[in-house]
């Protein structure tokens, strides 16, 4: 029964849409040079594009996603996807930096549609089977994030930098129309105004101990991964590797292998192995940074470490969101907004701290920092397990 429910066209389209929405915020990262040349800009100016994408995405998660609790979800999802696709198309047709920044802001704000898709998909199946559905959609979302850099670099090399924006924008528009016609109505779970909804977020975070713990776990896990995103080109572009931007982008395909773990972890979550999965992933993060530190001896350690790191991230994220969605059925969007804000705050911490560690302590300093984040993640995983059994 679950197999059929999981692989319906609607669920598959939801997974693709989640990947496009989130991945659209990462298209520009390997394209800074190409965009600068095309629009006659300095690379410093163009670097504001990926920065603005991350800032507006975080703002959308915090300030727009809670609307899912007080508005009809199908209509809200359609509007968000429509606007996200419009932002991608505007970016694709940009002939100056102002249009590109406008498209980036629109895409960033409304790509939070990806996070509306997750609880919506979980609502389409019995609660005891929701872990596998969430895992499937998160596989699509994570593949979007990991492949965005590789595909945008490839499309830019073969055609032009803006082609990836146009293709994904029009594809997302088509999927939005199909989903709107095939998903039933989901009435709002609460009758509140927007201001009251936003004011409730700090109180929810303070009162829900498990939400706090799972937010810390997600934040420290994504901090580990952001360390690799930040330092990958700094490590692999110069001697002794001399990898090109496109070659470095191909390492995203290693991450795709790791995302398949999300499907398997979703199955085990539904069977009640939440704490074991979390603790094993915390151990996996520690192991990955130990292997990263062995890079000077053999490059294979770096590949193996990346695979373990991405697999751990995928499994932890599926576990966290499966738990968060079940904490409060009426406030799913708000709980998820808090979790995802903490998740990306951890990513920002990893990016900032990683740049500092690289500049002052080199690769070994980055590995020590990653190990600290991994240990903190494992600590909160163990703490969560003890809290639930006490």
pLDDT of 308-336, one tens digit each? 998 899 889 889 988 998 898 788 888 98
Distances, alpha carbon 382 to alpha carbons 224, 258, 314, 319, in Å: 18, 23, 18, 14
| Mean pLDDT of the residues in the chain | 87
108 is written with which tokens?
């960033």
342 is written with which tokens?
């903490």
pLDDT score at 95:
93
Number of domains the chain is built from? 2
Residue 2 has pLDDT above 50, yes or no: no
pLDDT score at 38:
92
Shared-domain flag, residues 250 and 215: yes
Burial class (CB in 10 A: 0-12, 13-18, 19+), 171: middle
357 is written with which tokens?
């560690």
Shared-domain flag, residues 230 and 167: no
The more confidently predicted of residues 35 and 44 is 35
Residue 29 has pLDDT above 80, yes or no: no
Lowest-pLDDT range, 55-69, 75-89, 249-263? 249-263
The more confidently predicted of residues 363 and 147 is 363
The more confidently predicted of residues 215 and 344 is 215
Distances, alpha carbon 306 to alpha carbons 103, 310, 376, in Å: 32, 6, 19
Shared-domain flag, residues 227 and 168: no
Residue 150 has a CB neighbour count (10 Å cut-off) of 19
Confidence of residue 9 (pLDDT cuts 50, 70, 90): confident
Query: Which of 34, 36, 56, 60 lies closest to 46 in space, CA to CA?
Result: 36
Q: What is the pLDDT of residues 97-152, one digit of tens each?
A: 999 999 999 999 999 999 888 878 877 777 777 777 877 888 888 889 878 878 88
In angstroms, how far apart are the furthest CA atoms of the chain? 62
Last residue of a domain, one of 188, 221, 244: 188
User: Which CATH number covers residue 196?
Assistant: 1.20.1250.20
pLDDT score at 14:
93
Distances, alpha carbon 54 to alpha carbons 47, 50, 61, 127, 357, in Å: 12, 6, 11, 32, 21
Shared-domain flag, residues 184 and 291: no
Residue 369 belongs to domain spanning: 192-390
Cα separation, 220 vs 383, in Å, equals: 14
Of 60-64, 158-162, 230-234, 374-378, highest mean pLDDT = 374-378
Residue 293 has pLDDT above 50, yes or no: yes
Shared-domain flag, residues 261 and 216: yes
Shared-domain flag, residues 223 and 155: no
Last residue of a domain, one of 188, 221, 243: 188
Burial class (CB in 10 A: 0-12, 13-18, 19+), 205: middle
Shared-domain flag, residues 216 and 181: no
Give the residue-averaged pLDDT of 356-380. 95
CA dihedral 369, 374, 379, 382 (to 10 degrees): 180
Shared-domain flag, residues 236 and 339: yes
* Residue 343: HSE in the Cβ half-sphere, 13 Å Cα cutoff: 23
Shared-domain flag, residues 266 and 389: yes
Shared-domain flag, residues 207 and 332: yes
Shared-domain flag, residues 271 and 371: yes
Residue 283 has pLDDT above 50, yes or no: yes
Q: What is the pTM of this model?
A: 0.81
Last residue of a domain, one of 142, 163, 188: 188
SS3 sequence of the chain: CHHHHHCCHHHHHHHHHHHHHHHCCCCCHHHHHHHHHHHCCCHHHHCHHHHHHHHHHHHHHHHCHHHHHCCCHHHHHHHHHHHHHHHHHHHHCCCCHHHHHHHHHHHHHHCCHHHHHHHHHHHCCCHHHHHHHHHHHHHHHHHHHHHHHHHHHHHHHHCCCCHHHHHHHHHHHHHHHHHHHHCCCCCCCCCCCHHHHHHHHHHHHHHCHHHHHHHHHHHHHHHHHHHHHHHHHHHHCCCCCCCCHHHHHCCHHHHHHHHCHHHHHHHHHHCCCHHHHHHHHHHHHHHHHHHHCCCCCCCHHHHHHHHHHHHHHHHHHHHHHHHHHHHCCCCHHHHHHHHHHHHHHHHHHHHHHHHHHHHHHHHHHHHHHHHHHHHHHHHHHHHHHHHHHC
Cα separation, 354 vs 348, in Å, equals: 10
Confidence of residue 1 (pLDDT cuts 50, 70, 90): very low
Residue 236 has pLDDT above 90, yes or no: no
pLDDT score at 245:
65
CB 284 within 8 A of CB 154: no
Give the residue-averaged pLDDT of 8-16. 89
pLDDT score at 7:
62
Shared-domain flag, residues 162 and 273: no
């Amino acid at each position: 029964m679950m197999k059929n429910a999981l692989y319906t066209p609607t669920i598959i389209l939801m997974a693709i849409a989640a990947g496009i929405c989130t991945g659209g915020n990462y298209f520009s990262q390997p394209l800074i040079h190409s965009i600068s040349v095309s629009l006659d800009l300095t690379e410093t100016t163009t670097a504001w594009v990926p920065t603005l994408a991350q800032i507006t995405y975080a703002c959308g998660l915090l300030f727009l996603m809670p609307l899912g609790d007080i508005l009809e979800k199908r209509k809200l999802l359609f509007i968000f996807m429509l606007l996200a696709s419009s932002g991608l198309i505007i970016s694709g047709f940009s002939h100056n930096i102002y249009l590109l920044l406008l498209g980036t802001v629109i895409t960033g704000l409304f790509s939070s549609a990806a996070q509306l898709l997750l609880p919506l998909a979980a609502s389409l199946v019995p609660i005891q089977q929701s872990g596998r559905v969430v895992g499937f959609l998160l596989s699509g979302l994570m593949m979007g994030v990991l492949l965005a850099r590789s595909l945008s670099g490839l499309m830019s090399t073969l055609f032009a930098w803006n082609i990836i924006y146009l293709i994904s924008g029009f594809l997302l528009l088509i999927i939005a129309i199909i989903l709107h016609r095939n998903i039933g109505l989901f009435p709002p779970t609460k009758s509140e105004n927007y201001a009251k909804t936003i004011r409730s977020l700090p109180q929810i975070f303070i009162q829900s101990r498990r939400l706090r713990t799972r937010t810390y776990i997600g934040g420290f896990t994504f901090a580990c991964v952001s360390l690799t995103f930040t330092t990958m080109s700094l490590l692999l572009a110069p001697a002794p590797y001399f990898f090109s931007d496109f070659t470095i982008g191909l390492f995203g395909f290693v991450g795709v292998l790791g995302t398949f773990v999300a499907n398997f972890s979703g199955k085990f979550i539904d069977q009640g192995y939440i704490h074991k999965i979390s603790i094993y992933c915390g151990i996996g993060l520690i192991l990955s940074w130990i292997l990263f530190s062995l890079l000077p001896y053999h490059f294979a350690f770096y590949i193996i470490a990346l695979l373990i790191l991405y697999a751990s991230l995928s499994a932890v994220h599926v576990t966290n969101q499966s738990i968060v969605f079940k904490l409060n059925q009426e406030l799913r969007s708000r709980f998820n907004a808090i979790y995802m804000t903490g998740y990306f705050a951890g990513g920002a911490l990893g990016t900032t701290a990683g740049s500092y560690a690289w500049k002052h302590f080199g690769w070994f300093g980055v590995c020590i920092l990653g190990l600290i984040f991994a240990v903190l993640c494992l600590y909160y995983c163990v703490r969560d397990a003890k809290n639930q059994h006490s």
